[in-house]
Chains A and B, each alone.
Chain A
């Protein structure tokens, strides 16, 4: 049970980043390969704020604002000029952004590992005989609250409705007078916020370095594919399931241990693509010919 809770905490980080990937994919049909590096960059922003005396939660809030503005700016400045080009062009732009942000992060903050304080106590509690880390519970709670707030935003606000419509059909939205460009920028901003949350929750456990989210991004890709790359619910469920499965495999299957967790996640990704390409909750695309 302890490993399940720990897996859920890790999975909630994958779920947040997977949801960020899905948000952008649904709106633009493009996978943002720079999502992890954007998260790393904003996590360093949080580290700098804390290094300059701010405590965790104020730094957390300021970082989310920075992430939102940064994500929207990336869409306006880098993606907008190529939005009508073939998808491969946009993918290359996101890969270029990945490399550029990775280099920029190392250039600004240096390559050495930095300690990133956790906002949660490092002690454990005993619940009905199960020892649970408060750190794990905190990470799980923050990620799930963020996802729930985002769900409520999309479900209950006018802006959320308009963004869902844009994700459904950009052309139809334009014909109704929706400023699609701004909605896409908003989507990129929200995705960057999710990434920042994932980064700030992952950093205390993984320690902060410029490659912080590289592995997390791969787990998140696997989670998004597992859940269904076009399904927000699938991204969250996929992230949580993957976190638990990988954690249990790493703990109880001797030959996997700590070293083979990533290959195990990639095996999950491969199996899903082979057996059920649309994932658990995704839609199967049928084209009439």
Chain B
């Protein structure tokens, strides 16, 4: 049984339909990528899982239906969603942002685990999150998500606006967490090369539907995917 399953999920923003029946699965311990052009429905798919947008269809996480439940309920099931734009609290300090990952009750053991992955946080703990660089903000958003001990981590465009070295570092941390701790990841990414390098499976969305799916190797060999998203 997959950890997360979407069956025929439809979503709309007012009169505009954003998803036209998306079905996908994410197995425990897997890294799955969602690829596609702007407006394909990648972000809406993650927002549907978190119930930040009104949806129809079936969303099941660990055997439990998530459809029409509140975002708070979804988060409390063990789904950490790092949204596009990072979703930090700019007026709170770095440490307070981190604490919010555990809704303010960050156990020292969890704090140590997160600081091991992101040692700079200890040195910058009292700094306002708004004053961090883009890369540091993305790292903090990831660290905060990990502080909630998630069973599923959803990352929305983590590489957006970041320098290549920062992107490599970020994806390296995600890969390590997946390999060493078995963290399940669903990542939305426009940079298909990076995403397929990290993921074991991927879905390509086009105008709100799954157009292509398969393992990363299969997608790297898929002619249309290569031409449209990998550029060769």
Contact = CB atoms under 8 A, between A and B. Distances in A.
A and B part of one assembly: yes
Interface residues of A, number: 18
Interface stretch (B17-25, B99-107, B161-169): B99-107
B103 A174 contact: no
Contacts of A174: 52, 70-72, 75
Given A161-B96, A161-B104, A177 B89 contact: no
A165 B92 contact: yes
A180 B103 CA distance: 11
Contacts of A180: 72
Contacts of A162: 100, 103-104
Contact of A176 (B52, B70, B91, B148): B148
B157 to A, nearest CB: 15
Contacts of B144: 176
A172 B75 contact: no
Contact of B89 (A158, A169, A179): A169
Instruction: Name the 7 nearest CB pairs between A and B, nearest first.
Output: A177-B75, A158-B104, A174-B71, A172-B87, A168-B89, A177-B76, A161-B104
A175 B81 contact: yes
A188 to B, nearest CB: 19
A177 B72 contact: yes
B83 interface: yes
Interface in B111-137: none
A161 B99 contact: yes
Given A161-B92, A176-B75, 9 more contacts: A161-B99, A164-B91, A164-B92, A168-B92, A171-B87, A175-B81, A175-B83, A176-B144, A177-B148
A178 interface: yes
Contact of A178 (B52, B81, B103): B103
Interface string B133-147: 000000000001000
Contacts of A172: 83, 87-89
A171 B52 contact: yes
14 contacts: A159-B104, A161-B104, A162-B103, A164-B91, A165-B89, A168-B92, A171-B52, A171-B71, A172-B87, A174-B70, A175-B75, A177-B72, A178-B100, A179-B72
Given A169-B87, A171-B52, A171-B87, A176 B92 contact: no
Query: Chain A binding site: helix, strand, loop or mixed by DSSP?
Result: helix
Interface in B194-221: none
Interface in A175-218: 175-180
Contacts of B96: 161, 164-165
A168 B91 contact: yes
A164 B89 CA distance: 9
B50 A176 contact: no
Nearest to A163: B104
Given A175-B52, A176-B75, A180-B72, A165 B100 contact: yes
Nearest to A172: B87
Contact of A177 (B52, B91, B99, B103): B103
Contact of A175 (B87, B91, B104, B105): B87
Nearest to A230: B91
Contacts of A165: 89, 92, 96, 100
B182 interface: no
B155 to A, nearest CB: 12
B103 A175 contact: no
Nearest to A175: B81
Nearest to B51: A174
Interface in A106-165: 158-159, 161-162, 164-165
B83 A176 contact: no
A158 B95 CA distance: 13
A168 B103 CA distance: 14
Nearest to B87: A172
B90 interface: yes
B72 to A, nearest CB: 5
A180 B81 CA distance: 17
Contact of B100 (A159, A161, A171): A161
A238 B52 CA distance: 38
A168 B88 CA distance: 9
Contacts of B88: 172
A175 B50 contact: yes
